[in-house]
Structure 1
Amino acid sequence: MDLKLTILFIGFVFGNFVTAFFVSKLYTDKKPTEFGSKNAGTANVGAVLGKKAGFLVSLGDVLKTVIAIVLTWYLFPEIPQPLITLYAGIGLVVAHNFPFWQNFKGGKGVAVTGIVAILYNWQVAIPVLLVALIIMIITKNLTIPPLFAITAITIIAFIINHDFEAFILMAILSALMYNRFWLDIQDIIHGRAKEVDVLKSVKQKYQKK
């Protein structure tokens, strides 16, 4: 098997460990696709089952992404790490978003894609993600920031590195995210988008303490 396909496959194997399903099992008999927004991700699990459950989902998604990518770095040193990161990242995101063992109903891959982007090019990703966080606070919207981030990282990284293969791989990651947010994009267009006041939530949390 081609080395790059092997890397993609390793990412796919790790990606199928969709943490939200396991965390939900600890708290309830329901799957995350059966409550709230029906998304197997941090936001939905956290909103319905509590912040601790949401944190565990996020932590699990981050760990599986880091482990898969670092493992492939060591297994395939002959391939540039940025490309390894993106090939493994695509496998991770595809499996996370469409896990075969859950009838292809998974999460939106925001945390996974964010970690992939940081490991691919942290000099570009971290500043862009910080801007995305500011956008989220200002717009009180959870759809625009991740779409902005993945698009900006894709374009800026290509302008800096001129790596066409990496650009195509990042474009695939972008397409995967746009696909999972398509209904949310439609909600924004038709004025049905929900607002999430992050600062208000943080203030309330500290006021309770």
Structure 2
Amino acid sequence: MSLILWTVLGYVLGSIPFGLAIARALGLGDLRKIGSGNIGATNVLRTGNKPAALATLLLDSGKGAIAVLLARYFGGETAAMLAGGAAFLGHCFPVWLGFRGGKGVATFLGTLIALYWPLGLIACLTWLVTALISRISSLSALLAAALSPVFAWAMGRNELILVSLFMAALIFLRHKANIARLMNGTEPRIGRKG
């Protein structure tokens, strides 16, 4: 019963649309009508407001981390993995927005950091290095997601492979349009206004 509770609480926490709330509070408009239409930090950056984008990044990653840490403290490691995966799911498919949420990259990274910080750190570094080289956020996210189960296996954290695979699969699903644009060379670069 407690595992179900932590899964539900993780989902509810993950489904808080911080990017949308921050953009509205600062008068930046409805993120769903700007740039990619996504509610995450990369699209907030397209409004030209870097502090708002940073706040969105920290809050979206933080909700995954908090879900994991609370569940681990009160329910143990299995509860932590379920809560983290559910927080990620909640960000991607929030009930309050008709199940149309973000792409989950920040929440994915925050969840990994809280589950096992070396794995989260190497996923963040993968994103960062790819972003510095390519200046393409989606490519960075896809590479970090694809490699996270491999990193988990290489670090001997086999219990994290399944949750990493789950999040990576959803990230690829949520980036379907980005993958098409990457393949035809039209994917926008980081920092381009929408």
TM-score w.r.t. structure 1 length? Answer: 0.82
Which residue of structure 2 aligns with residue 11 of structure 1? 10
Q: Given the alignment, which residue of 168, 181, 191 partners 1:187?
A: 181
What is aligned with 2:38?
39
- TM superposition score normalised by structure 2: 0.88
The equivalent position to 2:163 in structure 1, one of 155, 160, 169, is 169
Distance 2:127 2:117 in 1: 15
Equivalent of 1:137, from 132, 139, 163?
Answer: 132
In structure 2, runs of 5+ residues without a counterpart are none
- Do the aligned partners of residues 197 and 39 (structure 1) sit closer, same or farther apart at CA in structure 2, a change above 3 Å counting? closer
User: Can you give the 5+ residue segments of structure 1 that lack an aligned partner in the other structure?
Assistant: 199-209
Aligned residues: 192
Percent sequence identity over aligned pairs: 24
Q: For residue 132 of structure 2, what is the amino acid of its counterpart? A: I
Aligned residues: CA RMSD: 2.1
Letter in 2 for 1:126: L
Counterpart residue number, 1:205: none
Inter-partner Cα distance in structure 1 for 2:128 and 2:172: 18
Are the equivalent residues in 1 in contact too, given 2:35–2:43 (CA < 8 A)?
yes
Deviation at 1:136, TM superposition (A): 1.2
Highest RCO, 1 vs 2 (Cα 8 Å, sep ≥ 6):
2
**1:125 corresponds to:** 120
Contact persistence 1:13–1:95 (CA under 8 A): yes
CA shift in 2, pair 1:22/1:140, >3 Å: same
- The Cα of 1:29 is off from its aligned counterpart by 7.8
2:84 corresponding residue in structure 1: 89
**After alignment, is 111-120 or 187-196 more displaced?**
187-196
Which range is displaced more, 64-73 or 34-43?
A: 64-73
